Chains A and B, each alone.
Chain A
């Protein structure tokens, strides 16, 4: 793929690789004996591998292709394949975590296999590894198509994609070594955080520059969402990770915030990670791939505007619902709760807009599992946002907080919404990108759909039951006014649900493995077909009648 870069671009890539290698070397030397040293070695190896590929191409002749006639899809393709890899790893870890909760002995006699270390590998693996790569890849695709312009740059998309994955690898390997800031979804230490800021700023600039090149008078809704995702995640990440390293040669830092301020900053971050990572970005996906696949106009442009600004505005306030009945002053809890409830309407407006768009295409939903993935995702989006707003009410939260109900809510959103919309998008975009007629096997898509749906439903129902039972047992008093159940009693009661959850997760994981196989076979074996009219408008002006140059 490096051959498609110009000589000058290859040189820039080489310089970046060399700088990275030096950084890795310095980290490895300075952090010797500390996990930071191992991370330095990882950076060095990553830089070495990329340098190898760049060097192999550096002597090749300049690319002959005319870049104006085509979109730049190589990074998108790579991103999708990497996303599927992380899906299998992250969900595999999820199944292991679930199994450990049911059978705690399912580990080996090594610290890295303990629950506390593999759990964040699961959460980061699925959210950042799977979700993040899918967002980056589809955003490249969507911004080019809806702008009818080629990506603004050829090195920067690779820098963003590979840099982001380097971050993911440092994060996951760090957890296994016991490196953590103890902030959920923001566990990686200071040097990883700094690196992500650099990657993210390049991402933002790339997005804006591509949009600025657009050959369409208006910016499509999907791009608003992707932009909100990129911009707000940058802000959240920077603020929540403000910290002072304990030393420049070790993986340990102290947060700039303390006590309840720290808790509030963390959940302002945590909730908006849900909002702008797991929601806004994926709504961008939904707004592009669903109408595209259904071949129907978006039900209402006005509803799109209303729900976009509603979501962006209300979410920012809602973080404190994670800290009900804590040391957080009550007025902050009130604001979090009321804004969460007001948030429900724009959330449902988005889900409704998506479902109403399907009017006139329901026969396609019936026949086409890919579209059905997206339809069910919209339903789960509606379900989990309703549930979230409900749980944000203090009285409800007093039952649900700290219980598996939260975990059920998380996975209704994460599996039902985030993963399903991603799989739907992957199935609709893969044939197009690799210029195939269809996916290798529609039957496997169909199988995946039912496995994923069954897995999600089993998971979510198991956790609702377990969470509510757990919450009720915790608050049951005897006639004497003492607790009726010990904590262990609740664990015994939860065990069957934990087994069910592990089974549901295994079904879901099986589906993800089928997806990876199906995509692989599509790339290798499906019959070729050139997509129609899939090129930037600028080239239309040059060569009106013929699609991309042969």
Chain B
């Protein structure tokens, strides 16, 4: 069985073994293979000498270059913080209006804020801050807690219904589930709310009158006599057409029946003061119809 043959094509001998018709040539390992084995091994050896590489009993070979990835990260983060600090410290110290007047600082805001918004806020408020079901739009000028600089900064700092000790707190009560209104009453109230917003609810004047009475008894304490909302309480204006959860019959029924308690994280410990200020400038510029 062990008959060595010469392969006519390559001129190499076979090893003389055969497996179900398969044979093997005894060709030398090509020079190039040895060459690259040597190159890669030398490279590895050099790397081991220079860098942290082999474990010892209770330490490891640290390498001649003395490089340590943890130290490197710390240094790089510190260096990056230092370059940003040049302008970020100023932003942290100045009131928003002063920043807006400073074109140099504003150049930094314009560069940094969109990505900050995209990474932290857009997931709920939408990539163009347009809001969505359950999340208020930030471009419509209909503010729950107020749209002036200080109020926005505070909202960012403490969040809404968040675990932050100073958090803004607001809750729409579950009038239906908690038995304050029955289903019929809720539908009437919903029609009245639609009429407040100038929507055609199709309800008769008597029904709306009944709704007004229900509203005065149950809703006005938060949303105001006229339904225009109370910003100190974070109670939304019901006379405009900006909805968080929607103005349809079903959405309004669900809101009044089960209540609502939206949630916005507190950013005090997640973003720096400068970052929160840049975001406040960014979203006020959006609300003013600034950059799209």
Q: Which chain B positions have C-beta within 8 A of A302?
A: 26-29
9-residue interface stretch from B41-49, B140-148, B187-195, B283-291? B41-49
Q: A480-B84, A480-B87, A487-B118 are in contact. Are A345 and B27 (CB under 8 A)?
A: no
Find out whether the CB atom of A344 lies under 8 angstroms from the CB atom of B22.
no
Q: A304-B24, A341-B40 are in contact. Are A478 and B119 (CB under 8 A)?
A: no
Find out whether the CB atom of A487 lies under 8 angstroms from the CB atom of B29.
no
Q: For chain B residues 194-209, which have a beta carbon within 8 Å of chain A? A: none
Bound Cα distance from A352 to B17, whole angstroms: 21
Find out whether the CB atom of B7 lies under 8 angstroms from the CB atom of A297.
yes
Q: For chain B residues 84-137, which have a beta carbon within 8 Å of chain A? A: 84, 87, 107-108, 111-112, 114-119, 122, 127
Find out whether the CB atom of A298 lies under 8 angstroms from the CB atom of B28.
no
Find out whether the CB atom of B33 lies under 8 angstroms from the CB atom of A297.
no
Q: How big is the B interface, by class?
A: 35 or more
Find out whether the CB atom of A344 lies under 8 angstroms from the CB atom of B40.
yes
**A220 at the binding interface (Cβ < 8 Å):** yes
Q: Which chain A positions have C-beta within 8 A of B184?
A: none
The A contact surface, by secondary structure, is helix
**A301 at the binding interface (Cβ < 8 Å):** yes
Shortest beta-carbon distance from A316 to chain B in Å: 15
Find out whether the CB atom of A342 lies under 8 angstroms from the CB atom of B52.
no
Shortest beta-carbon distance from B278 to chain A in Å: 9
Which of B17, B112, B115 lies at the interface centre, i.e. has the most chain A CB atoms within 10 A of its CB? B115
9-residue interface stretch from B53-61, B166-174, B247-255? B53-61
Bound Cα distance from A316 to B10, whole angstroms: 35
Partner of A334, one of B17, B36, B47, B83: B47
**B3 at the binding interface (Cβ < 8 Å):** no
Q: Which chain A positions have C-beta within 8 A of B41?
A: 342
**A486 at the binding interface (Cβ < 8 Å):** yes
Bound Cα distance from A218 to B23, whole angstroms: 12
Find out whether the CB atom of B54 lies under 8 angstroms from the CB atom of A331.
yes
**A482 at the binding interface (Cβ < 8 Å):** yes
Q: A481-B84, A488-B122 are in contact. Are A301 and B15 (CB under 8 A)?
A: yes
Shortest beta-carbon distance from A382 to chain B in Å: 13
Find out whether the CB atom of A481 lies under 8 angstroms from the CB atom of B52.
no
Find out whether the CB atom of B115 lies under 8 angstroms from the CB atom of A489.
yes
Shortest beta-carbon distance from A299 to chain B in Å: 6
Bound Cα distance from A291 to B114, whole angstroms: 59
Cβ contacts A334-353/B at 8 Å (1 or 0 each) = 11011101101100110010
Q: Which of chain A's residues has its CB closest to B27's CB?
A: A300
Find out whether the CB atom of B111 lies under 8 angstroms from the CB atom of A220.
no
Bound Cα distance from A338 to B42, whole angstroms: 10
Q: Which chain A positions have C-beta within 8 A of B29?
A: 300, 302-303, 306, 349
Q: Which chain A positions have C-beta within 8 A of B15?
A: 301
Bound Cα distance from A339 to B119, whole angstroms: 38
**A330 at the binding interface (Cβ < 8 Å):** yes
Partner of B118, one of A300, A359, A486: A486
Q: Which of chain B's residues has its CB closest to A301's CB?
A: B24
Q: Which chain A positions have C-beta within 8 A of B269?
A: none
**B51 at the binding interface (Cβ < 8 Å):** yes
Find out whether the CB atom of A480 lies under 8 angstroms from the CB atom of B33.
no
Q: Which chain B positions have C-beta within 8 A of A325?
A: 69
Find out whether the CB atom of A342 lies under 8 angstroms from the CB atom of B53.
no
Bound Cα distance from A480 to B115, whole angstroms: 12
Q: Which chain B positions have C-beta within 8 A of A252?
A: none
Q: Which of chain B's residues has its CB closest to A216's CB?
A: B19
Q: A341-B44, A344-B40 are in contact. Are A489 and B17 (CB under 8 A)?
A: no
Bound Cα distance from A468 to B13, whole angstroms: 47
Partner of A331, one of B2, B7, B33, B55: B55
Find out whether the CB atom of A342 lies under 8 angstroms from the CB atom of B27.
no
Q: Which chain A positions have C-beta within 8 A of B30?
A: 300, 303, 352
Find out whether the CB atom of A486 lies under 8 angstroms from the CB atom of B115.
yes
Partner of B111, one of A288, A345, A479: A479
Q: Which chain B positions have C-beta within 8 A of A12?
A: none
Please list 10 pairs of residues, one from A and one from B, whose beta carbons are closer than 8 Å in the complex, sorted by A's number: A297-B7, A300-B27, A329-B52, A330-B52, A331-B52, A331-B54, A334-B48, A338-B48, A482-B111, A486-B118
Return the 6 tightest CB-CB contacts between A and B, nearest first.
Answer: A486-B118, A300-B27, A482-B112, A338-B44, A478-B111, A301-B24
**Beyond known contacts A301-B15, A342-B37, A344-B40: 15 more, CB 8 A cutoff:** A146-B20, A216-B1, A217-B2, A297-B7, A298-B23, A300-B29, A301-B26, A302-B28, A330-B69, A330-B70, A341-B40, A342-B40, A344-B36, A345-B37, A480-B87
